[in-house]
Structures are given as C-alpha cells and as structure tokens.
Structure 1
C-alpha cells in the first residue's frame, strides 16, 4: 500500500503541534510554582508596620533596582515620618523614630535634664510610642526606669509626669550632691594617677571652651544640651577614680536631678553666671591636680552654694 507524499509532512506537523502544546503546558506549571528572583519579587509590608501612622505600607522592586537599594528605601520608610509639631520632635519639627530602648532612655533623660520636657508636664505613653516607633510596654519600662532615677513621678491611675521643680527640692539635691562630689574627689586624688589627671584636664578644657562661647552668645538654647553633657563629663571624671561603683552610680542619679531642678527653676542665666562658673571650674581643677583635698572640698562647695 503506497503512502501519500503529503502524509509524511502532515504527520510531522501534527507531532510538532502536539509537542508545542506540551511545552506550553509545562511552562504554565513552571510559572505557577517557580519563585521569581529576589530582586524581581514585590515587597509586602509586614503587619508590625501598621503601628506607624502615615507610613507607606510597601514598595515594588523592579529588575533595574538592586535588592540592597530597595532594603535601604524600606528602612527609610520605616523609620522616618513627618507631620505637625509636637513637643517630642527633633530639630526642624522632624520625627526621629528610634526602636532601641537605651536610645529612648538616653533621649528622654536628656530632655528631662535640660527642661525640654517642662516640670510637671504629663507624659503620655501613647504619644511617646508614636514618636519613637516602639511598643507601649517599652515606653512604660523606660518611664519607670526614669522614675527610679528621680526625673519622673508615677502615680497609680494617673500615669507619669515630669517631676516638679521646687526650691526645697533643689536645696536638698544640691546638698547631697556636694557631699558625694567632695568624697568622690577626695578618693580620686588618693587613687588617681597621671591618666586620671590627663582625663580631668581634657574634660575641663572642653567645658571651659563651651562656657566661654555661651558667655558671648545671646541665646543659651542652642548650647544647653552641649553644656550639660560637658559639665557632667567634667564632674564625673573628677570622681572617676574613687574606686566605688555605688558612689558613682548614686552621683549620676543625683546630678541628673540637680540639672533638672536647676534648669527648671532658672532658664535665664546671663553672661555673668558663666563668667563666674568658668573661674569656679578652674579652681576645682587646680585643687584636684595639686592633690589639695581641703582646697578641692572648698572649691566644690563654692561652685554649688548658689543653689542652696
């Protein structure tokens, strides 16, 4: 029986068509179960982002946008947000989202010591939670720690409030600070070596430069935090070789309370004030480097007696 010369070509076309359909079906299955490369995959915002109001919930990555660049964009979206002014905003009215507990503690402590959070002001965990981008429990834990330091008051059913500034409180805190600093300086002069002297002289040089700049400035506001940090560094260095961790820890808490009370009651210091304390800090430094215990005790008292 003879074959139609067109039959062979017809069978070849049929087989090719069947093979093409099988290939197409295989491609559909592959596309259904195959995951696209990471830099081509759309990004879905996690559920935890919902607690940040006003935030873009996600972004779509294109093949021309590297994965690490998309990760950077996501971090920016997660930790930055702008809006209306609130007392918890940073410079320029910009919100500065933080998620680490030590950073939240340090930032709030600085605001309390410099009276950026005014004495008697109510502290609402819900507002702080939205600003720092953390849970309400984290905010409450930080505020409880600050209440142990003495910068915040807590009352059941009433919440947290900045400790009020009163003359009696400032007098008591100042008296206790003088006692701690005099004893810490005495022990440091007995135990400290050349390294302690070098650190103390360097801290004093930094503090003296800042105070000289403030004395010539018209507005204390931009320098308040810088001055507070530099003075704390100088006085902590003065007692740093006392050999008593408990004394240093207690002094740190008392110093924070002292700064809060002093700045809370007296915002307009004037240039004469800074001219005076520049000389007082120099007297403390000279007595400490000379290892003259009685002169150092007297210099510390003279430096702080205006707050008694």
Structure 2
C-alpha cells in the first residue's frame, strides 16, 4: 500500500507553531521528503513559500532553517495580534448569530478539554500539538463572524509568528496551566454574554502576560525538550 502524501506546506507550518523545531534549527530535506511522501520540488516550493512569509529562512548553499526568534519580533507580533483580535472579536460579538455562538462554545469546549488533560497529567509535551490546534480554532472561531477575510488572514500570520516565539521561548511551550485555562474561560464567557468591554479586557490580559514574563514559567531561551 502506498504511503499517503502529506501537504508539506501545512505540515511544516503546523509543526513550526507547536514547537516541533527549535529556533534556528536546520530543516533536513531528505528526512522531510520521506516523512511527507513528496518530491524534492514540492518540498522546496513549500519551503520557499514559508520563507517568503517569514516563517523559515533560506541560506545560500546551506538550505533552510527555522527563523531565529527575537523578543523584538515577538513584541511586534503580540501587538499586531492584539490589535487585530480586538477589532475582529468586537465585530463578531456585535454580528454573531446563534450558529456562531454554538461554534464558539464547541471550540471552547474542545480547548478546555485539552487544557484539562494537560493540567491533570502535567504532560504538556504530549498534548502541545493538539493544544496549539485547538487554541487557534478557539480564537479564530471567536472572530469568525467579523465578516472580513482580509482581517482574518492578517490575524493568522500574526498568530503563527506569536505562537512560534512562545513555544520556543517559554516553559511548557507557553502553556500556563490554570492561568491559561482561566484566561480562555474569561474570554469565552464574555463573548457569549456579548460583553464587548469584558471580552476585550480578557483578550488583552491573555496576551499581556506573555510579554510581561508572568506566564507560568518565565522565558527559557531555547530550552525545548527533544522530540
């Protein structure tokens, strides 16, 4: 039976945002081709696309590496993410219908379930991939009724840049256990109540804690555990 072909662009980008590779780590084409079941040209196209988006870097005669994360880039991404999320979430709370409420509730419940497992088992690495996916789904669903694809696309880029720094720099991939779970609950409850000021304040608290180093486990500077 032939091996299923994996979309290398999606696989690489997803891996980057949940901390599969360390900051500045070399990406080895031979290993990735075998894993994704794709050709060299398809893999290179995916890498060039990611390089153009600023998620990896191309080095002459040395191939591709993940970006070396800096605090300056992180602060820029966090600031941009906050601006975009506040704008899109405000519009969603104002325009979202019953189907939107159900979608937000479902997304929150999945995120809360994963976070509960992470807290109870104290095994963040086991769940970090699922957590990264559900974290994105929750925030994206929260903003999904804003009515602007352009706004959502810009937010995705800021979110992924923010996430790549957080997972490579903070203890436990940036998961702050009960702190993070409470922040997401506060955002969810305010959103469902259509409490725009309360939701905006909860979103700001959620992002500000990272920048101020008050997340559970302060910055660790490239101390990710091995695969």
Unaligned runs of 5+ in 1: 1-74, 80-97
**Structure 2 Cα separation of the partners of residues 106 and 219 of structure 1:** 25
Structure 2 CA distance for aligned equivalents of residues 307 and 296 of structure 1: 18
What residue number does 1:198 align with? 102
TM-score, length of structure 1 as denominator length: 0.64
Distance of 1:195 and 1:270 partners within structure 2: 31
Q: Secondary structure at the match of 1:268?
A: helix
Name the CA distance, whole Å, in 1 between partners of 2:36 and 2:117. Answer: 33
Instruction: Report the counterpart of residue 93 of structure 1 in structure 2.
Output: none
1:174 is matched with which residue: 49, 67, 78?
78
- Which of 14, 36, 39 is the aligned partner of 1:135? 39
Computing the radius of gyration from Cα coordinates, the structure with the larger value is 1
CA contact (8 A) 2:166 2:174 kept: no
TM-score (norm 2): 0.86
| Deviation string, structure 1 residues 94-134 (Cα, Å, up to 9, x no partner) | xxxx435xx22222122111111111011233442343332
Question: 1:171, 1:307 within 8 Å by CA — same for their partners in 2?
Answer: no
Partner of residue 246 from structure 1, selected from 143, 150, 162: 150
- Is 1:160–2:54 an aligned residue pair? no
Is 1:116 paired with 2:55? no
User: Within the alignment, does 1:260 sit opposite 2:164 as a pair?
Assistant: yes
Residues in 2 aligned to 1:240 and 1:249: alpha-carbon distance in whole angstroms: 11
> What is the CA deviation profile of residues 157-203 of structure 1, one whole-angstrom value per residue up to 9, with x for unaligned ones?
44321011222222111111111100000111121111101110111
Specify the alignment match of 2:129 in structure 1. 225
**Structural mapping, 1:19-58, within 5 Å:** none
Q: In 2, are the aligned partners of 1:166 and 1:265 still within 8 Å (CA)?
A: no
- Residue equivalent to 2:5: 99
1:275 is matched with which residue? 178
How many Å apart are 1:269 and its aligned residue? 6.1
Q: Aligned equivalents of 1:230 and 1:131: distance in 2?
A: 24
Count of aligned residue pairs for this structure pair: 211
Q: Relative CO higher for 1 or 2, CA cutoff 8 Å, sep ≥ 6?
A: 2
Q: What is the match of residue 62 of structure 1?
A: none
Partner of 1:288: 191
Tell me, yes or no, if the aligned pair for 1:170 and 1:307 is still in contact at 8 Å: no
Gaps (5+ residues) in structure 2? Answer: 212-227
